[in-house]
Chain A
Amino acid sequence: MAGDTLRGRVFKYGDSVDTDVIIPARYCTGYHPEELAPHCLEDLDATFAERVHPGDIIVAGNNFGCGSSRENAPIAIKGAGISCVIAKSFARIFFRNSINIGLPILIAPEAVEGIEDGDEIEVDPSRGIISNLSRSGSWRAALLPPEVQEIIEVGGLVEYVRTRLSR
C-alpha cells in the first residue's frame, strides 16, 4: 500500500460497526468482491452501495468490524470501491483480515473527531497522514507495529507465505 495518496468523500459511521451490518450472513454464501459489494453496509445504510464512488473513504468510531471472522466484510468494503477505512479502533480479526487482503486501515481517533460525513479528505496510508480538504485539519495516524508493516511491505501475508514456500 506504499506510495499513492488516496482522495475521496467520507461516509461517516459510529461505534461498533459490526461485520453483520457490513455484510450480513445471508450474502456469505458468496465470497468474491462482485457478489458482496452490492450488499455492503445495507442493514446500516441502505443507500451506501448506490452512493459510493471508487476512492471514497469510511470514517468510524471505536471497534470497527467487531463480530464475525468473515473476511467477506473487508472484501465487501474494498469491492465497493472504498480506498481506506479510518477508525478510532478496529476489532482485531477485522484488522488482520484487512491487512491480509490489502485494504488500507488507519487508527486515528483525533482525525475521526475532525471529519464529518460528506467531507473530502486526502490520505497517505504509508505515512499515516490524513488531511481534511473540506475544513481545516491534518492528523497523523498511529503507526502499525514494524512486524506488521513488514508483512504489508512484502505485499501481504499471501506473498510472505509464497516466498517462504518457494525457498
Chain B
Amino acid sequence: MTLAEKILAGHCGRDNVKAGDMVMAKVDMVLGTDVTVPLSVEVFRNMGAERVFDPEKIALVNDHFVPAKDIKAAALSKIMREFAREQGITNYFEVGRSGICHSILPDNGLVRPGDLVVGADSHTCTYGALGAFSTGIGSTDLACAWAIGELWFRVPETTRVVVTGKFQPLVGAKDLILHIIGELGVDGALYQALEFTGEAFRHISMDGRFTVANMAIEAGAKTGLIPPDDVTREFMAQFPDRKGLYLESDPDAEFSRVLDVSLDRLEPLVAAPYLPSNVSPVTEVRGQKVDQVVIGSCTNGRLDDFRAAAAVMGERPVHPDVRLIMIPTTPKLMRALLEERLIDRFVAAGAIISPPTCGPCIGGHMGVLAAGEVGLYTTNRNFKGRNGHPDCRVFLSGPEVAAATAVTGRITDPRELI
C-alpha cells in the first residue's frame, strides 16, 4: 500500500484499502476557522446534533478576518467562541493566543504522524508535512465530522515526487513546490495524494516541509504527504505524550505517476498572475515594479522564512515606493523573532508587522490591493481578484525573492543582492 492508503486503512478498521475504494473513516482532529465555522454551527443544529463527538479532537482557530475587520466578521468569531464554550472545546484559539491555523495546530502538538485530519480550510493539506493524511473540506462536512467523528473518503491514487540533490544558496522550499506545481499544472494531481519523498528531504527542515505540503492543493491534490523521518521525530519530541505512527509506502506500492526533481539546478522561481502554476525563473520577470510585498501566510510565515528574508535584506531599507507587510504566523514565532531582534531590524527597515491573520492573502483586510496595483507575496494563490480589486495582480515567490523585491521596488533575483 501507499502511505495514503495505509493511513486511511488504519482509520476505517481494514487491513487493506486500494485507490478508488470508498471508506467511512474516523478522524483524529477536525479544524475549523472563523470564516467556515458559523455555517457549520447552523448545519450542526439543523441536523439535530447536540454534542460534538469529542471536544478534544476539535480545533477552532481565529485567523481569517481577525482582529475583526468589521461588524459581520466580529459576529463570525462570536458564533465560534460561543460554540466552543457550549461544547467545552479546549482547543479554541482566541485572538492574542491564536495565529494562522496551519501553524497553530502543529505548534500545539495537535497533529501526529499517521493521523487523519480534516479541516474546513483548503490548506489543511499542510499537515502532510508531519506524515498525517490531512485534507480540506467544506462547512457541511465539518458539521458532520463534529457530529459523528467520521467522514466518507475516496481512497486516492498517489503521484510520487522524488526529490534529490541540495538547494543552492537563496533557493528554498517554496521554489521546490512552485516548480512541482509548474510541472503538474493546477489540476495535475486532481483527486490524488501527492507524496514528496527522496533523499533531499533529509536536509529540508520542518518549516520547509510545511511550505511544500501546504501547496499540494494548488496542484489539485487531496493531500501532500512527506513520509515522517528523523526530522519529524525531532519536531515531535516537543510533545512527548503525542506519539505518532511513522509510516511509509511499501516498496511494491503502486503510484499513478512518478516525477523526479533535482534541487541542484533549481533556481529562485516566481508564479505570475493569475495561476500558481504560471511559474518561471525570477530572471524572466525581474524588473517588474511592485507596490506591496507580503511575507507571511500558512505557506511562508515561519521562522526559516523570516530568517531568510532578514539575510537577504541585510541593512537595506524597504524601497520608498513599497509597502512591506510581514505576518509571523503565531505569537510563539513573534516572540522568537523579538528575541532574535529580527522584528527590530524589520521595523527599522520600514516594514509593518501584522498580527497573525490571513488578511492580505485572501484580500480580506490588513493590506488589500487597489485597481492596477501589483503585489509580490509569499502566499499560495494569485487568482484574479483574490488579493483585492479584480484589476490588481499578484506574483508568488519564496521569502528570498520577496525580501530582495521589497528593498529594490522591482522583482529582483536575490542572488544579485548578495
Contacts and interface: CB of A to CB of B under 8 A. Distances in A.
A93 B36 contact: no
B154 interface: yes
B357 interface: no
Q: What's the interface size class on B, roughly?
A: 35 or more
A157 interface: yes
B122 A157 contact: no
Q: What's the interface size class on A, roughly?
A: 35 or more
B390 A70 contact: no
Interface string A32-48: 00000000000110000
Given A25-B362, A147-B152, A66 B138 contact: no
Contacts of B384: 18, 20-21, 43-44
A62 B189 CA distance: 13
A158 interface: yes
A55 interface: no
Interface of B is mostly: loop
B65 interface: yes
Interface string B123-150: 0100000000000111111011001100
A69 B122 contact: yes
B122 A67 contact: yes
Given A26-B364, A63-B186, A97 B152 contact: no
A7 B124 CA distance: 38
Given A16-B187, A161-B47, A165-B147, A93 B137 contact: yes
Contact of B136 (A25, A26, A93): A93
Contact of B72 (A16, A18, A30, A93): A30
A136 interface: no
B121 interface: yes
A28 B139 CA distance: 13
B46 A158 contact: yes
B22 A147 contact: yes
Interface in A147-167: 147-148, 151, 156-158, 160-162, 164-166
A70 B187 contact: no
* Listed residue (A66, A72, A145, A166) with the most chain B CB atoms within 10 angstroms of its CB: A66
A35 to B, nearest CB: 9
A138 interface: no
Interface string B97-125: 00000000000000000000001111010
B363 A24 contact: yes
B385 A24 contact: yes
Contacts of A21: 383-385
Interface in A79-102: 89, 91-93, 96-97, 100-101
Contacts of B154: 145
Contacts of B69: 29
A44 to B, nearest CB: 7
Nearest to B390: A43
Nearest to A156: B140
Contact of A69 (B65, B136, B144): B136
Interface of B: 22, 35-36, 38-39, 42-43, 46-49, 64-65, 69-70, 72-73, 75-76, 119-122, 124, 136-141, 143-144, 147-148, 152, 154, 186-187, 190-191, 220, 222, 275, 362-364, 368, 381, 383-386, 390
25 contacts: A18-B381, A20-B381, A20-B385, A21-B384, A24-B363, A30-B72, A31-B38, A31-B39, A66-B220, A67-B386, A71-B39, A72-B39, A91-B190, A92-B191, A93-B122, A97-B141, A101-B140, A148-B152, A157-B140, A157-B141, A157-B144, A158-B47, A158-B140, A162-B47, A165-B147
Interface of A: 16, 18, 20-21, 24-26, 28-31, 43-44, 62-63, 66-72, 89, 91-93, 96-97, 100-101, 145, 147-148, 151, 156-158, 160-162, 164-166
Given A92-B222, A158-B47, 6 more contacts: A16-B187, A21-B384, A26-B363, A66-B187, A89-B190, A158-B43
